[in-house]
Amino acid sequence: MHRFSALKYLINEERMQTKQKIGEFNAYNFGSIISQNGGDFCMYPHQQQTPIIIGDMMGHGITALKESFAIKGFLSGCLATPIPLTDVLKTLNQALYEQRLCKNSLVTLLIGFIENNTLHWFNAGHPAPCVITTQGKLLQLSGTDPLLGLSDDHQYQHYRYDLSDVAQILLFTDGWLDNQKMSEVDQIIAKLTHDNLHSEEFAYALWQASQVKLSAEIDDASLIVINKH
């Protein structure tokens, strides 16, 4: 992403922020997934499990954006059928392996949903979710499988994490962490927790405090903050 484009969406961030309801949770979306000026994308399919899909196309600008439309179109077609979420990555992986779409690009993809107070996800090369505990501690979860399209026989795992002691869930693209360390994000969260910020206030303040630095060459950057109503 060019610096001018980054400056443009940082200035207009409040206007572009969107909120999605997923059951008893809210998801607050920030960055390139809203401005749609690169390869980051997200989807909220209308399914019983109310899944969240976040992805990141290789590359930048209009080329990556066009490729992301192809992936979203394929996923929309899949999810319009009775296909279970457990099979979505396998189906997309087969299409990419056979080069039926996005022949010259790579994509990372995470499909997540919340059920019975448990976070579930399937992950193809995307950063694993983070959670923030009720005590304000940041935890990086483990659960990432290989990129899509590299092998036609890979089985994508079903990962789970109990949310009993979780206040916030963070989904993001790798650009969000390109110019900052996880320890720096942890310090931001500690301050926001100390300031007693919750729900929408917390989500907005986290994004504002953790935005990428304009002085560096930056990738598309996106963040989804999920918490209870």
pLDDT per residue as tens digits for the range 122-131: 999 999 999 9
Asked whether 127 and 173 are in contact (CB, 8 A), the reply is yes
**Any idea what DSSP says for residue 29?**
E
Q: Cα–Cα distance between 50 and 126 in angstroms, integer?
A: 20
Which pair of structure tokens corresponds to residue 110? 């995470």
Helices (H), the chain: 3-11, 13-16, 32-35, 61-79, 88-97, 182-194, 199-209
Q: Cα–Cα distance between 113 and 100 in angstroms, integer?
A: 27
Q: Cα–Cα distance between 73 and 92 in angstroms, integer?
A: 11
Higher pLDDT: 200 or 213? It is 200
Higher pLDDT: 5 or 188? It is 188
What average pLDDT is seen over the chain?
A: 85
Instruction: Give residue 161's identity as a one-letter amino acid code.
Output: Y
Which residues have a Cβ under 8 Å from the Cβ of 97 and sit 6 or more positions away?
148, 149, 150, 151, 152
- pLDDT score at 178: 79
Which residues have a Cβ under 8 Å from the Cβ of 87 and sit 6 or more positions away?
none
Q: Cα–Cα distance between 168 and 166 in angstroms, integer?
A: 6
Which pair of structure tokens corresponds to residue 176? 């969000």
Least confident of 5-14, 77-86, 92-101: 5-14
Asked whether 156 and 123 are in contact (CB, 8 A), the reply is yes
Residue 16 has pLDDT above 80, yes or no: no
> Averaged over 191-195, what is the pLDDT?
85
- pLDDT score at 171: 97
Residue 12 has pLDDT above 80, yes or no: no
100 exposed, middle or buried (CB, 10 Å; 0-12, 13-18, 19+)? Answer: exposed
Q: Cα–Cα distance between 45 and 181 in angstroms, integer?
A: 32
pTM: 0.87
Count the residues in the chain.
229
Asked whether 52 and 44 are in contact (CB, 8 A), the reply is yes
